Amino acid sequence: MTVTAAPDRVFALMRSLGLATRPEEITLTPLTGGVSSDIVLVETAGGRYCVKFALPKLKVAADWQVPVSRNAAEYDWLSYVAGINPALVPRLFGQDPGLGGFAMAFLPPERFPNWKALLMDGHVDVPVAAAVGRALGRIHSIAAKDPATGPRFPHQDNFHALRLEPYLLFAASRHPDLSPRLVALVDSFHAARISLVHGDVSPKNILCGPDGPVFLDAECAVQGDPAFDPAFCLNHLVIKASAAIADPARLAEAARALWAAYVAQVDWEDAGAIEARVAGILPALMLGRVDGKSPVEYLDPAGQDRLRQLARRLLIAQPDGIAPIIAAAQEAGESL
């Protein structure tokens, strides 16, 4: 095993969940899947499972340590969304908080391709983006009206450690002139208790299934400001557009489609109010992907500086809507 999750720990989880009785009954294959967890494909005579354990220190260059209790928060988010629409998440087979892990269905990539992989290969499917926005908006709409989500997801400390500190506050330390604005965003997130937030709606955490998008990796789940989720996903699309990873015009179209589908579901507050917050968050997240603890991996130093300057310009301009940000990213990509 090339991961922290030792075979005996994986077997202990499988036995705890009633999915295996003897170690020789299972075959283990480490899977790639981000920097925050060990993820293992477990094959048994009864099926194929994906087992996930949270890591106390993330696999990045910066010192980034976070509570492993986020594994349970992720399981809770997946369970909650399964109650809304089971097609939106993998099937769950149980968790063991003592072992710090859970098991879910393994979704084969030939049937469930990863959205980021498709985008990086230049395949920009606008209907996929719209489906992501529509599903995300529906989750937020239902959760915003559910009084149980607040007590069930009181994970502000996790959200701070996984998102606010490494993206916004770390970037603020490198840009003192922008620090007041970035700190104000952090304060607003701490104060918000509007709906259930996934916190990592990135193309790498979305599979393109035969019945629509499948969401993964909800370790950051918290009751907070739902504006964070569309902003986080749009961030990945606009950065790719600005770097011409695929056709900038097509990526811009996908970003607009995602937002249009999302905002059509907004019935818990004024649509203009949430768009203004998304427009405020988005440039900050762009800066966080170049000067935060998890810099985007596909940009060379020149590309990083272009993104830095674009994010700074947008943060200073403070656009009050999504359209100018998408247009600026498209223009930057088309100028390369």
Same domain, 186 and 314: yes
CB 264 within 8 A of CB 275: no
State yes or no: pLDDT of 9 exceeds 90: no
Interval 138-193: pLDDT, tens:
999 999 999 999 999 999 999 998 999 999 999 999 999 999 999 999 999 999 99
114 secondary structure, DSSP code: B
CATH of the domain at 44: 3.30.200.20
Mean pLDDT confidence for 303-317: 98
pLDDT of residue 59: 45
The pLDDT-based confidence of 62 (bands split at 50, 70, 90) is very low
- Does residue 110 lie in a domain region? no
Total number of domains in the chain: 2
* Residues 170 and 148 grouped into a single domain: yes
What's the pTM value of the predicted model, to 2 decimals?
A: 0.94
Residues 6+ apart with CB under 8 A from 10: 26, 28, 40, 42, 51, 101
Residue 328's domain comprises 115-334
- Among residues 105, 129, 151, the one where a domain terminates is 105
Rounded to an integer, what distance in angstroms lies between the CA atom of residue 27 and that of residue 252?
A: 43
Q: How far apart are the first and last CA of the chain?
A: 42
The beta-strand segments (E) located in the chain are 27-31, 37-44, 47-54, 92-96, 101-105, 195-197, 206-209, 212-215, 222-224
Residue 42, phi-psi category: left (phi > 0), alpha (psi -120 to 50), beta (remainder) = beta
Res. 58: pLDDT tops 80:
no
Judged against a pLDDT cut of 90, whether residue 60 lies above it is answered with no
pLDDT bin (cut points 50, 70, 90) of residue 324 is: very high
Percent of the chain exceeding pLDDT 90 equals: 81
Q: Mean pLDDT across the chain, nearest whole number?
A: 92
Contacts of 157 (CB under 8 A, 6+ apart): 67
The pLDDT, as a whole number, for residue 64 is: 45
